[in-house]
């Protein structure tokens, strides 16, 4: 039985994605839930599993192609579950195969777009290849002139036409995003054209991935929209480290890892409940503050594709043990490209922990439309004057960035001190479990 494997529903707001890589070949014997393609959307990069096991008899997508929900990815013969011995095809079969896959020329100005390929008695329109990343851009002279007049480097514009061709609308949309603050340019200003860097030496241009483009636009928009203030403090986590080592074995046996981040999830949820303004969003159109009654906290995860922020939901209702297990699983899921757009949505606060990499302090950018984010740096041993003497204590640097339109400096200081004091008394947290 031949089964069509289609792209499943991705997310409520996502109906398509770009194929980064096809992970199977014709003739492969695949298992149920085996990944068949790697897909990139505006929100995430993840692998799409097959709901059926069997032999791959047809592949209907190619690398670089944009596919929509419901579109056929591959066809699988579910009655074949074992690989057959390899046979060397005879010359006539090869000739027949070459004849079946020969392209058919379609005359007219749209021949390139409408060229079809005959395969197994069916026809399909091949995908439009992405524009080369050599720095050349397909665009009409009038479009290039428009870009020059607007002060836009046309090589930075993502083309929506065939073969990545840039249209006048693409240039206008790009300019509008920059003017409204959706990019790194200051709000209300148009980007100045870049100089020709090649005049000083060799350069290479690479197209931004969807995720990197979205990160650039979102952080640029947040920086322009949110008047940031960052406050810094340190927590003495000497006792917390003893607590972590003592209970870490129990958490590991349960399938998780007790980390500072998993403990901070619980601490921050309690802090958000005590300070509702930090669990809110600002609606300037209606002049209202939206207070959220749920506590969904995003945790920034460093991946080879960029910084992704999966969300742990209903944090306040879960124990540190539950949070440790869930955080371990979702971080692994994110790094292994199994994350879905739903996993990245709905956060009301964010934690960004760079302690595993290093550094003393940093100022994280608020993850708009949230109003605050907690930065965590590497803990270090420091001499501290305590109980009348100098002692070695393990100190954790913390940085809190927040939206000054809704949060005043005094509130920011109180919130951060609340977190510091909770970290310095870990056994109180344990009693609350």
* The dihedral formed by the CA atoms of 107, 113, 114 and 120, expressed in degrees to the nearest 10: 120
Query: How many alpha carbons fall within 13 Å on the CB side of residue 330?
Result: 24
The answer to whether residue 118 is domain-embedded is: yes
Same domain, 171 and 43: no
Q: Does any domain span residue 235?
A: yes
User: For the chain, how many structural domains are there in total?
Assistant: 3
- pLDDT, tens digit, 9 for 90 and up, residues 202-253: 988 888 777 777 778 888 888 888 899 999 999 999 988 988 888 888 888 8
Considering the domain architecture, whether residues 13 and 48 belong to the same structural domain is answered as: yes
pLDDT of residue 162: 61
191 pLDDT band, cuts 50/70/90, is low
Q: The CATH number of the domain where 173 resides is what?
A: 4.10.320.10
Among candidate residues 216, 246, 273, the one where a domain is terminated? 216
Residues 6+ positions from 56 with CB-CB distance below 8 Å: 24, 25, 26, 27, 28, 29, 30, 74, 75, 76
The reply to whether 205 and 318 lie within a common domain is: no
Q: Which residue has the tokens 């297990």?
A: 325
Most confident option among 99-103, 156-160, 257-261: 257-261
Domain membership of residue 71 (yes or no) is: yes
The answer to whether residues 22 and 46 belong to one domain is yes
Residues 6+ apart with CB under 8 A from 281: 289, 290, 292, 348, 369, 370, 371
- Which secondary-structure segment (H or E) carries 64? none
Is 228 annotated as catalytic? no
Q: Are residues 169 and 250 in the same domain?
A: no
| Per-residue pLDDT band at 190 (split at 50, 70, 90) | low
Contact 424, 263 (CB under 8 A): no
CA distance 401 to 226: 10
For residue 135, being part of any structural domain is answered with no
Using DSSP, state whether 411 is helix, strand or coil. Answer: helix
Q: Same structural domain for residues 148 and 115?
A: no
Q: Around Cβ 286, how many Cβ atoms within 10 Å? A: 8
Residue 262 lies in a domain: yes
Percent of the chain past pLDDT 90, that is, above it, reads 28
Burial class (CB in 10 A: 0-12, 13-18, 19+), 341: middle
Domain that holds residue 106: 2-81+90-124
Tell me: do 168 and 60 sit in the same domain.
Answer: no
273 shares its domain with 176 = no
| Burial (CB count <10 Å: 0-12, 13-18, 19+), residue 344 | middle
Q: Per the omega criterion (within 30 degrees of 0), is the bond before 123 cis?
A: no
* Residue among 323, 325, 328, 367 nearest 349 (CA): 367
Alpha carbons 349 and 372: distance in angstroms, whole number: 6
Q: What is the pLDDT of residues 85-108, one digit of tens each?
A: 555 444 444 444 444 433 434 344
Q: Is residue 130 part of a domain?
A: no
What global pTM score does this model have? 0.61
Which one of the listed residues 184, 404, 411, 425 is annotated catalytic? 404
Model confidence at 13, pLDDT cuts 50, 70, 90, reads: low
Mean pLDDT to the nearest integer, 45-49: 81
Between vectors from CA 81 to CA 77 and to CA 87, what angle results, nearest 5°? 85
Looking at the DSSP bridge assignments, the partners of residue 399 are 232, 375
Domain membership flag for residue 223: no
pLDDT tens-digit readout, 336-378: 878 888 888 899 999 999 888 878 889 999 999 999 999 999 9
pLDDT for residue 406 is more than 90 = yes
Same domain? For 274 and 420 the reply is yes
DSSP state of 135: S
Examine residue 51 and state whether it is found in any structural domain, yes or no: yes
Q: Is 105 exposed, middle or buried (0-12, 13-18, 19+ CB in 10 A)?
A: exposed
> How confident is the prediction for the chain on average, in pLDDT?
79
Overall size of the chain counted in residues: 433
- The answer to whether residues 377 and 420 belong to one domain is yes
CATH number at residue 109: 2.40.50.100
Last residue of a domain, one of 63, 98, 124: 124
Inter-residue contact 401 to 372 (CB < 8 Å)? yes
Torsion of CA 231, 257, 301, 265, to 10 degrees: -40
How far apart CA 422 and CA 267 sit, in angstroms, is: 7
**The predicted structure's pLDDT at residue 68:** 86
- Whether 242 and 299 map to the same domain: the answer is yes
Confidence of residue 298 (pLDDT cuts 50, 70, 90): very high
154 with 302, same domain: the answer is no
Which segments within 292-388 are labelled E, that is strand? 297-299, 301-303, 306-308, 311-312, 349-353, 372-376, 380-386
Q: CA-CA distance, 412 to 267, in Å (whole number)?
A: 16
Mean pLDDT of 311-321: 91
Q: Which of 77, 78, 73, 40 is nearest to 59 (CA)?
A: 73
Pair 49, 31: CB distance under 8 Å:
no
């Amino acid at each position: 039985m031949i089964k069509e494997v289609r792209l499943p529903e991705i997310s409520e707001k996502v109906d398509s994605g770009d194929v980064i890589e096809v992970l199977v070949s014709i003739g492969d014997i695949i298992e149920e839930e085996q990944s068949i393609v790697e897909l990139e959307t505006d929100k995430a990069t993840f692998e799409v599993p097959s709901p059926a096991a069997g032999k791959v008899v047809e592949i209907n997508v190619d690398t670089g192609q944009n596919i929509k929900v419901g579109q056929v990815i591959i066809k699988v013969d579910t009655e074949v579950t074992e690989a057959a011995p390899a046979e060397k095809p005879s010359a006539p079969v090869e000739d027949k195969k070459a004849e079946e896959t020969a392209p058919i020329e379609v005359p007219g100005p749209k021949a390139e777009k409408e060229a079809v390929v005959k395969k197994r008695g069916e026809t399909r329109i091949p995908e439009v290849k992405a524009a080369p990343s050599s720095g050349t851009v397909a665009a009409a002279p009038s479009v290039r002139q428009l870009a020059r007049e607007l002060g836009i480097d046309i090589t930075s514009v993502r083309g929506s036409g065939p073969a990545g061709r840039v249209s006048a609308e693409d240039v206008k949309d790009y300019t509008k995003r920059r003017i409204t603050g959706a990019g790194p340019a200051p709000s209300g200003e148009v980007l100045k054209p870049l100089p020709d860097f090649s005049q000083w030496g060799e350069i290479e241009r690479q197209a931004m991935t969807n995720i990197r483009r979205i990160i650039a636009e979102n952080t640029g928009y947040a920086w322009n929209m949110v008047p940031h203030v960052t406050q810094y403090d340190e927590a003495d986590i000497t006792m917390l480290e003893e607590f972590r080592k003592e209970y870490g074995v129990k958490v590991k046996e349960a399938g998780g890892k007790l980390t500072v981040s998993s403990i901070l999830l619980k601490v921050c949820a309690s802090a958000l409940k005590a300070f509702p303004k930090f669990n809110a969003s600002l609606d300037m159109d209606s002049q209202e503050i939206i207070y959220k009654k749920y506590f969904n906290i995003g945790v920034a995860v460093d991946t080879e594709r960029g910084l992704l922020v999966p969300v742990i939901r209903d944090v306040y209702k879960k124990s540190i043990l539950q949070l440790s297990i869930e955080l371990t699983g979702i971080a692994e899921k994110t790094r292994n490209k199994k994350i879905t757009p739903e996993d990245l949505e709905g956060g009301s606060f964010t934690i960004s922990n760079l302690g595993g990499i290093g550094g003393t302090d940093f100022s994280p950018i608020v993850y708009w439309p949230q109003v605050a984010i907690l930065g965590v740096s590497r803990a270090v041993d420091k001499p501290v004057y305590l109980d009348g003497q100098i002692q070695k204590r393990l100190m954790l640097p913390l940085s809190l960035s927040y939206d000054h339109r809704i949060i005043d400096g005094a509130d920011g200081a109180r919130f951060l001190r609340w977190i510091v004091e909770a970290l310095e008394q870990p056994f109180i947290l344990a009693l609350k479990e």
